């Protein structure tokens, strides 16, 4: 069984993806929060969630439940992709920084000089 995605559903999903990507980008720019000053990140998250829910309710009110669903799908996919990219970057940096020395792999092209100092 083949499912075709028509242009309206694709554009609605794309719009949701753009909103989710903008939210993720804003959160990335605000990270790490200043000490005792997490309000900008909390405000961004709250405004984003309320905004997408308001858009969903508007679309559903006009009788296009399918479009609203695809709006939420696009938004969610953007947040999942952004979270995956951040986690992948952090894991890569951790592995690059710690694993070679724990496995006994030399990370320098020059041999270590013992007894100097």
Closest by CA to 69, choosing from 60, 61, 77, 78, is 60
Q: How many CA atoms lie within 13 A of 16 on its CB side?
A: 26
Distance CA 27, CA 60 (A): 28
Q: Which residues contact 114 (CB under 8 A, 6 or more apart)?
A: none
Inter-residue contact 79 to 98 (CB < 8 Å): no
Q: Where are the domains of the chain?
A: 7-79
Supply the pLDDT for residue 115.
54
pTM of the model: 0.76
Collapsing DSSP states into helix, strand and coil, what is residue 6?
A: coil
Ramachandran region of residue 34, left (φ > 0), alpha (ψ -120 to 50) or beta? Answer: beta
> Tens of pLDDT along 3-28?
676 888 889 999 999 999 999 999 99
> Tens of pLDDT along 36-81?
778 888 899 999 999 999 999 999 999 888 899 999 999 999 999 9
Supply the pLDDT for residue 76.
96
């Amino acid at each position: 069984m083949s499912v075709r995605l028509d242009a309206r559903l694709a554009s609605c999903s794309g719009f949701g993806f753009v909103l989710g990507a903008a939210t993720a980008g804003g959160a990335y720019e605000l990270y790490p929060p200043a000490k005792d000053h997490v309000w900008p990140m909390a405000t961004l998250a709250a405004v984003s969630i309320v905004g997408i829910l308001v858009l969903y309710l508007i679309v559903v009110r006009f009788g296009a439940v399918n479009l609203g669903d695809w709006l939420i799908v696009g938004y969610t996919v953007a947040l999942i992709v952004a979270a995956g990219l951040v986690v992948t970057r952090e894991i890569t940096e951790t592995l690059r920084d710690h694993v070679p020395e724990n496995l006994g792999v030399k990370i320098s092209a020059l041999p270590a000089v013992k007894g100097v100092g």
